Structure 1
Amino acid sequence: MHPVYEASRAAKAPLFAPHARLRAIALGVAVVSALSLAACGDKNDGAQNAQAAAQAKPPEVGVVTVKLGSVPLVTDLPGRLEAFRTAQVRARAAGILQKRLFQEGSDVKVGQKLFQIDSTPYQANLQSAQATLAQAEASLVQAAATARRYKPLVEANAISKQDYDAAIAAEKAALAQVAAGKAGVTNANVNLGYATVTAPIAGRIGRAMVTEGALVGQGEATQLATIQQIHPLYVNLTQSSTDILRLKEALAAGKLTRDGANAAKVHVFTEDGKEYGHTGRMLFTDLTVDENTGQVSVRAELPNPNGLLLPGMYVRVQLEQAQVDNAAVIPQQSVTRNEKGNFVLVVAEDGTVAPRPVQINGSQGNNWIVTGGLKEGEKVMVDGVIKVGMGAKKVTPVPWQADAKAAPAAAAPAADKAPAAKPEAAADAKPAAAQ
């Protein structure tokens, strides 16, 4: 008999038939359990179908497309700014300082009046020198007239030869006195001019080191102020002599190129990490290596038209001393290293992934400069490597977007004889386990 029919009969049975009632309850529980198991089976089948569908679609991975070209080889160096020209304004005339004729911290021009020293004694000296000169000129007139009168007389033997020679000597002595008088006047004018202190160079002047009423120039040239020309500025750097030697060797061997003579570009970053708006240029590299540090002094010139930068400031400098031809730039996290060298994962057109050895020649920010092993247009995997490690046969490449908050990759492959940048050695790792 059908179980459902039995359950219905049991429901219609009298209350005093316990066996029939128990049998009906058992049959109802069995029916409910069967229906529940059927429902659970349907849900499990749906989940398995969804998982199978998900496994059938290749997982997405982030890739970058290789672009070959000339890549600048950048060296990161610390530097200090120095004024282009510096002049100490000193008092060359002794006396009491009467006036300060400039505003502290302002820009001054060449010859601009800065200080006024009491000029009364120097004006008196000038007048005395002028009077002495006038007296000498009067004596010269008299001596010259006597010599002219004696000349025809000595020819006529009206006077002795000795008297004529004395008149000529007196004229020459008067000429010497006139010359001395003129020199005295010039000297007095110079000293009087020193009483007015002017700017020897154009630039920005600092604070005044003396005030009105001070006695200056007494025994020594008292420093009154300092003028600094801050447009342009010098950037003083130090670079390892080893790096410079390797750079010269790479240039000589043709591994690196330089865009014209002295074409090194200087990019300056301030202490807050912001890049300065103007690019500097290299001036020279010193010929002597410091015996204590093994460093070579390098100097660059940096425009400073707005006076934003000041002498003495600490800056970071990115120095472009050469270029690497036919090279590519890829993120550091896409490169791994093992005992055989540096490797990347390349995604083919059909979605398959294969490791590829590459040659590293320096760094550029958070990227490596690759000089060998990659071709134009190839896709290098940056993230999603763990999906390949879990058994995915094929992947779907999507453009990789750099995350500004992400920390730089820990693996840092060793550069293949990079002349200007020295990446840190990476930990040994298999290509498939880069992430």
Structure 2
Amino acid sequence: MTKKKPLLNWSLTFIAIASIGYGLYHYKSSEIKTAMAQTQPEFPSPINAVTVDYSDYKERVTVPAEIVAPESLMLTNNFAGKITYLDLQSGSVVKKGQKLLQVDISEELAQLKTAKARSTLANNELARAKELHRKKLASDAALDQAQADAQINQAEVARIQAIISKKTIYAPFDGIVGLHTLSVGEYLAPNSQVANLVTEQPLLWVDFDLSQVQSQRLSGDKVEMVIENHPKTEFANIIAKEPVVNAQTRGVKYRAELQKTADMNLSPGTFVEVKLQQGQSKPKIKLPKHAVLRQQSSRFVYVLVPEKEGTYRAQRRDVSVFQDDSEFSYVSSGLKVGEQVVSSGAFKLYPNQLVSIKQADAQATK
């Protein structure tokens, strides 16, 4: 036991000395780092800033809408028959008045030839009857009969021509032909659906429904379009609305007109969303959307606090945002009018960082 005590004492002494040495080393290292930090200059990070101010805000609602072509129809035939003419390629562009399809009219052509011959004969007989009547050699009844026969034969010619016309489909307007599987020689039943024809115009209609309350609170005649995979904000002008409320939905249908551009992937029948302003304007704080950052469920901005020589400290401040759109965030609390907020470059900052204003952006109200 006596031999173990000196060994234990030496071990404890060694541990104590090592602990004191480590503590002194850590203390000196901290002092050196602090001194180096104090001697190294802090360079401000350049940012853009915006001054907080009120902006006129109107409540907005988002509703589904459908893209509609101003001219669109399903081509159908009136009479049954075998297809003898077909100039209707799927996806092709056709012009107004262009002959697209015709079913067999051989029987009608024969009937038309006969009817025209009878009409010519009736017209000749009418001319002779008029001459005889002028010379007092024919009665009024004979002249009336000749006139009636001529008109009857003319009507028969017109009837057969109408049948031929109804057995032929012409393009009612310039447009693009939809898909079909028809071919020459195929039999068509009456009122068969042939193909869709959709106008090729830069204008599209946007149809949407509003409830009675939304309709009453509608403000303005423009709607903002929400188009999938289209980054730009597009607007459509309201051009008409239904004069009556729908008996089933108790809603009101509206129609807006959209100027289509080449980068819009929109076709008739596409479903989109529209945003509409509601009610009267209210003063609200509006900031550029990229000025408001997000961390989990919280939203915050960097407020600029003057430092010295044109520099500022970027202090993080939580804010409450009640609505976002494609460009702006609307803040309900957390900021005061007149404060400056980092509007560009906020994502690279950390709290209390030294910054300088590279550019003062125009107020969000403008």
TM-fit CA distance, 1:90: 2.1
Which residue of structure 2 lines up, in the alignment, with residue 349 of structure 1? 306
Name the aligned partner's letter for residue 216 of structure 1. L
Name the aligned partner's letter for residue 200 of structure 1. P
Counterpart check, 1:363 vs 2:319: no
- Which residues of 2 match residues 126-275 of structure 1 at below 5 A? 126-150=112-136, 167-208=139-180, 210-216=182-188, 220-231=190-201, 232-239=203-210, 241-248=212-219, 262=221, 264-270=222-228, 273-275=229-231
Question: 2-side partners of 1:113 and 1:365: how far apart?
Answer: 47
Secondary structure of the structure 2 residue equivalent to 1:137:
helix
Larger RCO (CA under 8 A, 6+ residues apart): 2
Return the match for 1:103 from 81, 89, 109.
Answer: 89
Name the aligned partner's letter for residue 206 of structure 2. V
TM-fit CA distance, 1:266: 3.7
Question: 1-side partners of 2:31 and 2:113: how far apart?
Answer: 120
Counterpart check, 1:313 vs 2:270: yes
Secondary structure of the structure 1 residue equivalent to 2:126:
helix
Aligned residues: 325
CA deviation string 1:235-288 (max 9, x = no partner): 23344554444444xxxxxxxxx5xxx3x1543412xx3236965332234455
| Residue 238 to residue 167, structure 1, CA distance change in 2 (3 Å) | closer
Secondary structure of the structure 2 residue equivalent to 1:81:
strand
Name the aligned partner's letter for residue 88 of structure 2. F
Question: 2-side partners of 1:289 and 1:277: how far apart?
Answer: 30
Higher Rg of the two aligned structures: 1
| Residue 302 to residue 399, structure 1, CA distance change in 2 (3 Å) | same
Question: 1-side partners of 2:303 and 2:159: how far apart?
Answer: 84
Question: 2-side partners of 1:71 and 1:380: how far apart?
Answer: 21
Which residue of structure 2 lines up, in the alignment, with residue 66 of structure 1? 51
> 8 Å contact 1:101–1:116 — kept in the other structure?
no
CA deviation string 1:282-332 (max 9, x = no partner): 223445556776654332223346595222223344557898789632548
Task: For structure 1, list consecutive stretches of 5 or more residues without a partner in the other structure.
Answer: 1-28, 152-165, 249-257, 337-341, 388-393, 401-435
| Residue 60 to residue 150, structure 1, CA distance change in 2 (3 Å) | closer
Question: 2-side partners of 1:148 and 1:386: how far apart?
Answer: 111
| Residue 275 to residue 300, structure 1, CA distance change in 2 (3 Å) | farther
Question: 2-side partners of 1:37 and 1:142: how far apart?
Answer: 138
> 8 Å contact 1:64–1:330 — kept in the other structure?
no
> 8 Å contact 1:266–1:281 — kept in the other structure?
no
> 8 Å contact 2:112–2:160 — kept in the other structure?
yes
TM-fit CA distance, 1:179: 1.7
Name the aligned partner's letter for residue 330 of structure 2. I
TM-fit CA distance, 1:173: 1.6
Greater CA drift, 100-109 or 346-355: 346-355
TM-score, structure 2 as length reference: 0.67
Task: Name whichever structure is richer in strand by fraction.
Answer: 2
Question: 1-side partners of 2:109 and 2:238: how far apart?
Answer: 50
Which residue of structure 2 lines up, in the alignment, with residue 379 of structure 1? 341
> 8 Å contact 1:87–1:200 — kept in the other structure?
no
Which residue of structure 2 lines up, in the alignment, with residue 328 of structure 1? 286
Question: 2-side partners of 1:90 and 1:38: how far apart?
Answer: 95
> 8 Å contact 1:84–1:230 — kept in the other structure?
no
Question: 2-side partners of 1:42 and 1:222: how far apart?
Answer: 95
| Residue 115 to residue 398, structure 1, CA distance change in 2 (3 Å) | same
| Residue 130 to residue 287, structure 1, CA distance change in 2 (3 Å) | closer
TM-fit CA distance, 1:86: 1.9
- Which residues of 2 match residues 15-54 of structure 1 at below 5 A? 40=25, 42-49=28-35, 53=38
TM-score, structure 1 as length reference: 0.58
What's the % identity of the aligned pairs? 21
TM-fit CA distance, 1:178: 1.2
Which residue of structure 2 lines up, in the alignment, with residue 154 of structure 1? none
Greater CA drift, 346-355 or 300-309: 346-355
Task: For structure 2, list consecutive stretches of 5 or more residues without a partner in the other structure.
Answer: 1-13, 359-366
Give the CA RMSD over aligned residues: 4.9
Name the aligned partner's letter for residue 259 of structure 2. P
Greater CA drift, 101-110 or 224-233: 224-233
